[in-house]
Amino acid sequence: MLGRRPAGDRLAVAGFSAGVPLTTAALAGPAAGVRCAALCYGRPLGLDPAAAPPLLVVRCGRDRPELNRAIDEFLAAAQAAGRPVELVDHADGHHAFDVLDDTDASRDAIARVLGFLRRRLAG
């Protein structure tokens, strides 16, 4: 169809919990065509924020302190590299909030993840 991007040009990835290290491993390689990624309450291991596509990170205030520390360190590295990362700080959220907690705050965090992916894929 004229004027539309090919489907292969609209690839997004999202990782949750233990899926975040797998997602970041995929982004650390040749991630051609990946327009954006959402990393939700997991350790972004081995990902150079300066080389990553646009990112959204979800941090849960009631998650394990060592996990939040790893997320905070990644965010600081992204900021030092001048790389904007959109943060969803779900202050009352805990691990797996998107599956376990039917609250307005959880629904808002999920909506922000989906909105980020839609905006980035539409652009």
* pLDDT, tens digit, 9 for 90 and up, residues 72-107: 999 999 999 999 899 999 999 999 999 999 999 999
Residue 9 has a pLDDT of 67
The two three-digit tokens of residue 61, written as one number = 């205030």
Residues 111 and 89: their CA atoms lie apart, in Å, by 13
pLDDT of residue 45: 87
pLDDT at site 41: 96
In the chain, the DSSP E strands lie at 11-16, 34-40, 55-60, 85-90
pLDDT, position 2: 40
Closest CA to 10 of 102, 123, 91: 123
Amino acid letter for position 100 = L
Fold of the domain spanning 11-122: Rossmann fold (3.40.50)
Give the whole-angstrom CA distance, residue 38 versus residue 13.
7
What is the per-residue pLDDT across 15-69, written as a single tens digit (0 to 9) for each?
A: 999 999 989 888 876 656 688 999 999 999 888 888 889 999 999 999 999 999 9
Confidence at residue 57, expressed as pLDDT on a 0 to 100 scale: 97
pTM value surpassing 0.75: yes
Which H, E and C letters describe 55-74, residue by residue? EEEEEECCCCHHHHHHHHHH
Which residue ranges make up each domain of the chain? 11-122
- Per-residue pLDDT at 25: 85
Measured from the Cβ of residue 79, the count of other Cβ atoms closer than 10 Å reads 12
Query: Which residue has 């979800």 as its token pair?
Result: 58
